[in-house]
Amino acid sequence: LLLSSLWLLVATPALSIFQRPTGSPAPPHMQYLLEPVHTTVHTQRGATATLPCVLRALPRNYRVKWSKVEPANYRENIIIITNGLYHKNYGPLSPRVRLRHSHRYDASLTITNVALEDEGRYRCQLVNGLEDESVSLTLHLEGVVFPYQPSNGRYKFNYHEAKRACEQQDSRLATYQQLYKAWMEGLDWCNAGWVLDGTVHYPIINSREPCGGRLLLPGVRTYGAKDKQKDRFDAFCFTSALQGEVYFIRGHLNFKEAGQACHNHGAAIAKVGQLYSAWKFSQLDRCDGGWLADGSVRYPITTPRERCGGLPDPGVRSFGFPSKELRTYGTYCFTGK
């Protein structure tokens, strides 16, 4: 429980020192909170991000409550409550959040070491008796979406297995908004996969017979919500910038030798999400197939060329899941900062 003193602030009402631009009057329902100029904050994993929430005046006995809306269940999880003098943190974000409090009207939320799961919608609510007000903001991580399936073929994951599989590859299940943005940026994939809210989709740029037919327009095709226990599909995973480096070790290694080669360099064999992140954010470009932690063999291409798969677009190419005894490939290693 909060200390009783948290609820007993007595503040003298003050005239606001913050004025809106001429011609932009505040809506009548926003008496105390300023509407943010930008409602989306862009960041990357590992960065520090601040979600703005500023009061225009201090009502008596007020509280400000920050919460996050979780897309998987649409619940609001409380993050922090403050009355301007005292505050209390809640939930898993607790160790990484604080109030910026650059002045007495500032209730902005600062998140340090931003994690993949921090992406989403946040609410700053002024609790003031019958005059509650709130503003909604979105924390957007720059990142990359990739389709993922296990070694035993497509459509093997129920929702919970898909979620776990993405997490094991240094990523998380993508949101629908992340998948849609990836489609607009060129993601074209025929297999349907789970996203974070429990719905199933697949993004199509080039309409073709095996993907719903040539007559259907390009778009993100949807199967809607599916049974999270019984229904089985692939996964769409999302990852962001790395706090570390992915590099290639050349050789003719089987899977076990690949892991040992990385270990000998003080590193670990890279995960799929780490390779995608290095391709996206560090422009890692190699024609060499290399083992990854899930037993797949892939290579990242940022500059397409004839002798590197021959495909016209940048991407992470895959050789699938060859026999782990095969001594044909090198390995991709990851070392953290």
Tell me the fold of 33-141: Immunoglobulin-like (2.60.40)
Residue 128 has pLDDT above 60, yes or no: yes
Which one, of 46, 54, 47, 32, lies nearest residue 100 by Cα? Answer: 54
pLDDT at 212: 80
Weakest-pLDDT range from 2-16, 86-100, 230-244, 265-279: 2-16
Percentage of residues of the chain with pLDDT beyond 90 = 77
Q: Which of 151-165, 199-213, 299-313 has the highest mean pLDDT?
A: 151-165
Weakest-pLDDT range from 67-71, 146-150, 320-324: 67-71
- Residue ranges of the chain that CATH labels 2.60.40.10: 33-141
Residue type at 186 in one-letter notation:
G
* Banded model confidence at residue 29, pLDDT cuts 50, 70, 90: low
Angle value at C-alpha 310, between 304 and 314, nearest 5 degrees: 30
pLDDT tens by residue, 316-332: 999 999 999 999 999 99
Residue 22 has pLDDT above 50, yes or no: no
Residue-averaged pLDDT of the chain: 89
Round to whole Å and give the CA distance between 55 and 50.
Answer: 16
* Banded model confidence at residue 295, pLDDT cuts 50, 70, 90: very high
Average pLDDT of the residues in 86-109: 94
pLDDT at 72: 62
Residue 156 has pLDDT above 50, yes or no: yes
DSSP 3-state of 269: strand
* Banded model confidence at residue 70, pLDDT cuts 50, 70, 90: confident
Residue 7 has pLDDT above 70, yes or no: no
pLDDT at 9: 30
- Residue ranges of the chain that CATH labels 3.10.100.10: 143-239, 242-336
pLDDT at 131: 67
Placement of tokens 């100029």 in the chain: 37
pLDDT at 73: 65
Q: Which residue has the higher pLDDT, 10 or 246?
A: 246
Here the tokens at position 203 are 């993004």
Residue 47 has pLDDT above 60, yes or no: yes
* CATH architecture of residue range(s) 242-336: Roll (3.10)
pLDDT at 12: 31
Average pLDDT of the residues in 106-127: 95
Taking CA atoms, 60 is separated from 7, 9, 12, 14, in Å, by: 11, 7, 7, 10
Tell me the fold of 143-239: Mannose-Binding Protein A; Chain A (3.10.100)
pLDDT at 275: 98
Query: Which pTM was predicted?
Result: 0.84
pLDDT at 2: 34
Q: Which residue has the higher pLDDT, 74 or 93?
A: 93
pLDDT tens by residue, 239-294: 999 989 999 999 999 999 999 999 999 999 999 999 999 999 999 999 999 999 99
Percentage of residues of the chain with pLDDT beyond 70 = 90
Residue type at 332 in one-letter notation:
Y
Here the tokens at position 195 are 């996203």
* Banded model confidence at residue 11, pLDDT cuts 50, 70, 90: very low
Specify the DSSP element, H or E, that contains 256. Answer: helix 255-264
